[in-house]
Amino acid sequence: MDYIVESLTRLLPGLLTSVQMTVVSVAIGMVLGFLGGLLLNNRHRGVRYPVIALVEVLRGFPALLTLYFVYFGLPKLDVVLDGFVAVVIAFGLTVAAYTAEIFRAAIASVPRGQREAALSLGLRRNKTIRLIVLPHVLRVAVPPLLGIVVIAFQGTSLAISIGQLELTGVALNFGMSTFYLLPEILMAGALYLIVTTLLTWVEIVSERRAQRLSGGSYQGSGRKRRRGVPKISTEALRTTG
């Protein structure tokens, strides 16, 4: 019991660092990802194709490699970053690549008829986006986005590789220098589990809400899609993360 309390006082600051890394990198990633999603829906190939290429590269690179590139590679170009900043930039880019695809699909999933209805009611384009398209996009995109948040959260453990001590780092650091490696790993694992379970629960609830949208006048949009509707394989992400 004493060990658990003592371990928690050690690990909780690490958890806080993990959460901070997740929040900042997800914030960066989603803003960039939303822009990417808009660009991927652009009519002109000249706009779409470079974005597709960028997304594919960032998804193709393991997150660890992107992190090394930002932290060890950029200094060769005289860009030296603080460890935490490097982590959130690298993970932010990876998150952006994955969420761009989610946002693209969500934007394309707004039924064309709803835009026509907005037009025929005389709504201006910016109001149509704000009042009709955005609520729909968020409702559809939130469940898969939360899946990305879970993976990003676990992915922050990669930060140990550049010496940033978050939850995993703190646990391993202590565990390896004492005889408490196994219990320390289990304690850290339990903390990860608690956070991801909470996030997954929110994901399931939001998914139910999103599904209600398809009960009604929801029909596939008439637009061409680059791929199927939100095809977000979380399994595939886990292996890269």
Partner 1 sequence: MKTPNNGPSEVLLAAQGIRKSYGHLEILRGIDLNLGTGEHVSIIGPSGSGKSTLIRCLNFLEMPDGGSIDFGGKRIWDEKSPIKEADSRAHRTKVGMVFQSFNLFATHTALQNVSIAQVHTLGRSRKAADDRSRELLDQVGLSEHLDKHPGQLSGGQQQRVAIARALAMDPEIMLFDEPTSAIDPEMRVEVLRVMKDLANGGMTMISVTHEFNFARDAADRVLFLAGGLIVEEGTPDEIFSAPKQERTQQFVNAVSGIV
Report, in Å, the least distance between residue 111 CB and partner 1. Answer: 7
Nearer to partner 1, 32 or 123 (CB): 123
**In angstroms, rounded to a whole number, what is the distance separating the alpha carbons of residues 183 and 106?**
43
* Cα 231 to Cα 27: distance, rounded to the nearest angstrom: 22
User: What is the token pair recorded at 109?
Assistant: 């999933």
Q: How far is CA 55 from CA 36, 97, 100, 209, in A?
A: 9, 5, 8, 29
Q: Does 218 bind partner 1 (CB under 8 A)?
A: yes
Q: Does residue number 104 form part of the binding site for partner 1 (CB under 8 A)? A: no
Contact assessment for residue 104 and residue 42, using Cβ atoms and an 8 Å cutoff: no
Indicate the residue among 178 and 214 with the shorter CB distance to partner 1. 214
Stretch of 6-14, 61-69, 120-128, 185-193 contacting partner 1, by CB under 8 A: 120-128
Residues 22-81 that bind partner 1 (CB under 8 A): none
Judged by CB under 8 A, the stretch of 65-73, 88-96, 131-139, 186-194 that binds partner 1 is 131-139
Q: Both ends of the chain: CA-CA distance in Å?
A: 33
- Which of 12, 10, 9 lies closest to 194, judged by CA? 12
**Is 114 an interacting residue with respect to partner 1 (CB under 8 A)?**
yes
Contacts with partner 1, residue ranges (CB under 8 A) = 111, 113-114, 116-124, 127, 131-132, 135-136, 139, 212-219
